[in-house]
Structure 1
């Protein structure tokens, strides 16, 4: 699973960090790997250097000694001319999460496209074969994401049993 993550000045996303840690811990034995991609394109909420990301998570937001138990990549663009290729692939493989893009004065990239990431913590599920399965709106709860992942895993297990 890939997630566009940012954390500064984003109380909406703060609660997701601990929930993503819990999801990683619970489903890792079944092959789930969460990947986080910090980005500064949404409200300029990730302005610092890469070296500041983990200390800020630990001491500021969410704080309390928080350390992610999943891989965080270096900060990069998920939309626009300089978007990371993985996001070009993911966004073109799954339909957008909303018809609305958002307030242009809080979005920092050009050109804006219909498949763009709408805000921090938008998530994608990628199957073990590397094919994107689904995409979630940034406000989708991690518990709903978990239910979808479990349903996908059950479906794949059932297909594996039938295929033998």
Structure 2
């Protein structure tokens, strides 16, 4: 799919259960040797760690969240798990929430972090079939 412009971007964040405490130089080695380990090296662009919610959120996430409807209206049990203020209904709910941005730079879809990746894959495929001829996926 990369020849057709699909690029995956990863944005590490420590606002969800403090699950990404590493410094910039520690994140890739932690992925490779600790979690998930076994020599894992991401095959996507990995950006510097930053905030996705709250007063210090990165502008890209302000834009994405303002462009797509929220993926739910609650955060579940948030005590000692969410590290930003103020909490807003449109905030990213947890690690691995996903956004699809079209080739024109406009956000198209947003998925809750618990959505099965097969649903995300099917949604992306359906969207790309609207942009490109069907024979590219066969």
Taking structure 2 as the reference length, the TM-score comes to 0.92
* 1:100 to partner: Cα distance: 1.2
The answer as to 2:36 corresponding to 1:36 is no
CA-to-aligned-CA distance 1:7-43 (integer Å, 9 cap, x gap)? xxxxxxxxxxxxxxxxxxxx21221100000000000
Number of residue pairs aligned between Structure 1 and Structure 2:
132
Equivalent-residue separation in structure 2 for 1:93 and 1:104 (angstroms)? 28
Distance 1:119 1:132, change over 3 A: same
Matched residue, 1:72: 46
Query: Structure 1, unaligned stretches of length 5 or more?
Result: 1-26, 159-164
* Counterpart residue number, 1:49: 23
Please list, as runs of the form range in 1=range in 2, the aligned pairs for 1:79-118 lying within 5 A after superposition. Answer: 79-102=53-76, 103-118=78-93
Question: Structure 2 regions of 5+ residues with no counterpart?
Answer: 134-138
* Superposed displacement of residue 99, structure 1: 1.5
Greater helix content: 1
Q: Which among 97, 108, 119 is matched to residue 94 of structure 2?
A: 119
Show structure 1 runs of 4+ deviating over 6 A: none
Partner residue, 2:119: 144
Does residue 90 of structure 2 align to residue 154 of structure 1? no
**SS state of the match for residue 106, structure 1?**
coil
Partner of 1:14: none
Q: Give distance in 1, aligned partners of 2:23 and 2:75.
A: 27
CA-based RMSD of the aligned residues comes to: 1.1
